Structures are given as structure tokens and as C-alpha cells.
Amino acid sequence: METAGRTGRVVCFGEALALVADPGALDDPAAPARAAGAEVNVALDLAAAGVPVSWIGRVGDDPHGLLITRTLAAAGVDTGGIEVDPAHPTGRYAKSLESGVDGLRTRMHYRRAGSAASTAGAELAQRPAVRERLAAASWLHVGGITAAVCPAALRALAAGTGSVGVGARRPRPYRVSFDVNWREQMWPDGDPAVVADLAGRADVVLTGADEADRVFGTADPAGLREHLPGPELVVIKDGAERAVAVHRDGTVTTRPALAVDVVEPVGAGDAFAAGLLTGLVRGEDVGRCLRRGHLGAAAVLVVDGDSAPPLPARLLDLGVEAWAGLRIGPGGIVEGVPA
């Protein structure tokens, strides 16, 4: 994928959330927390992999907004495109582990209604700090949560005024990656049309197999391509099994996932996206990019936070059998240590 003459910079746009450590403190706007939110996670994971990245969006003029901005900056993410909203708080969320029929599962508790992110309007796309960053970017990364929380801002980007936006005239000076991130509860009418439309305008689409079924009516690679003829690459993540990339000409690249002793899964999809983008930004072949996605996801699956640096890049070069023999746990590689 050519992004010649550009800096390799990725711009991530979405909702920042404060991940509050104690669910009982979720209503406290100063509760101890970590930086989270899908595109914030992607930005942190990209920065950890050494990819130049900016995060743009709105945070509240409150301790959590400051924490998120400082966390991003400390990780090396460009924060010059962040807007501070004096009138609305930063969104918050907490997670708890609860037992379900198939064992322990994560439950997420949100305080995001009326958040600073949700007030980002059409003017966001026109702000000089945003236009400058997009003008210099190789990639814009957004997703279905952005579409639900910041619809006006994303619509403006999708309108593609001039040379910037999800729907800007092609060839655009940068690629757009779109993570479907379907959240049923965020779409009261249950209609996935907006998300499907945005995905169709992107260059690279990431989707879980289950959400592909829900949003496009199929997770079958060929069938999905009929719904998404435009993107260069459609990546279907099939849980702990594999990731499948369907190229525009219909050819398919598949890479198995790693065996992982999962601690907590939130953020793994974002880490997969960051890994994939890391490879794509660097012009690597798609199989290697999928492996980078798995290495990123595995690193987040074994921590209770929502972002983490990817596992060592030397694992990318393992043969098929050595890769299949790896098992990753909280301390790193549990089985199948390569020489």
C-alpha cells in the first residue's frame, strides 16, 4: 500500500474514556483511572510500536481529561489536536468480572452520556489543528464507536470537505482504516447502516466474525466482499482462531492466532488494529501484518489494562510450527520459546 512521500503518521479519532479502577467509584469524576477508549488504545499501542501517531478528539476540563492527555503525551502520541471542553466531562467506564454460562466474563459499566466526546460537532473537521494533522498523515483510523459517540464530527469527516475526511476524493492523500466495533446498545434503532456505509468508504476494514454477521449479514470472506467491494483489505478476526484478510481481487491471506492464557480481553481488538496498522504503515506483506495484529492482541489479553506494547517483533519470523507451539501468559511466553 503506497503512502509515498508521507510521514507514516497515523491519526486516530474517537472517544477517550477514563478506565476507572474501582467500579464503585464510577461516579467520581476524579477517581483513579487509566487512559482508554478504542482509538486511544490504538494510539498508545502504535506509539509503543514506534509508529508516529496523533490522537484527536475532545476531553473534559477535568482530572480524567488531563490524565488521558498526559498519558498519551508520555507515550509519545501527538496531543496537539486534542480539544478541551469546559462544559462536559470526560467519559468514564469501569469493568467487572462476572460469572456467566461459559465462565468468567467482563462486564462494562459506562458513564459516557453527555461526555465531551459526544459534543464534538461538524466544526471538528474544520479545526486547523485537525486539518494540519490530516494533511500530513498517511492513515486516519476511526471506527464504529466513533460513529456512535461523535456522529456529527464523523459525518463531517465522512463528507470529505476538500482533501480531508473519510469520504474525501480518491485517491486520498492518506488511507482510512475502520474498525467496525459494533456496540448494539449504542444504536437504539438497531440499524447498522451508518457503520456499514462508513466501512464501505474505508481502505482497510477490521471486523470480528460475529459483528460482520450482525452488520453485513455474513462473515463469509467472499460474501463480505460483495457488501464491501471498495476497501483494499477486509480483515475478519475469528476470535482465538485466526485472522483472515480478503484482498480486493478476492484472494485471501490467513494467519492463525496465538494460544493465550487470557486475563481480560478488553482492548485486544484495538491492539490487533494497531499491530495490523504498524505493518501496513511500514509496507509489510499482509501475512506479516496479521501476525503483528496477533502479537499486539496477545499482549493486551494477558494484562488487565486496555493497552500494552506488542510482544517482541522477533516472533514475527517464526516458522509456522514454532508459531503454533507458542503459548502466551501474563509473564510473556509460557511455552515454545524460540532459540
Please give the positions annotated as active site.
270
CA 159 to CA 153: how far, in whole Å? Answer: 10
List the Cα angle 319/320/323 in 5-degree steps.
85
Least separation, in Å, of the C-beta of 112 and ligand KDG? 7
Task: Please give the residue ranges that form the binding site for ligand KDG (CB under 6 A).
Answer: 17, 36-38, 41, 108, 145, 183, 266-267, 270, 306
Distances (CA, A) of 24 to 21, 27, 91, 93: 9, 8, 16, 11
**Residue closer to ligand KDG (CB basis): 97 or 159:** 97
**Residue closer to ligand KDG (CB basis): 180 or 316:** 180
CA 224 to CA 59: how far, in whole Å? Answer: 35
Least separation, in Å, of the C-beta of 59 and ligand KDG? 14
What the block records as the C-alpha cell of 186 is: 449504542
Closest residue to bound ligand KDG by CB: 36
Least separation, in Å, of the C-beta of 15 and ligand KDG? 6
Rg (CA), the chain: 19
Contact partners, residue 143, CB within 8 Å, separation at least 6: 14, 38, 39, 178, 179, 180, 181, 206, 273
Least separation, in Å, of the C-beta of 20 and ligand KDG? 12
CA 6 to CA 73: how far, in whole Å? Answer: 22
Q: Are the C-beta atoms of 241 and 282 separated by less than 8 Å?
A: no
**Residue closer to ligand KDG (CB basis): 15 or 62:** 15
Looking at residue 90, the DSSP 8-state letter turns out to be P
List the Cα angle 249/251/253 in 5-degree steps.
135
**Residue closer to ligand KDG (CB basis): 41 or 207:** 41
Least separation, in Å, of the C-beta of 339 and ligand KDG? 35
Q: Are the C-beta atoms of 125 and 81 separated by less than 8 Å?
A: no
Least separation, in Å, of the C-beta of 118 and ligand KDG? 12
Instruction: Give one DSSP letter per residue of 292-308, joined into a string.
Output: HHHHHHHHHHTSSSS--
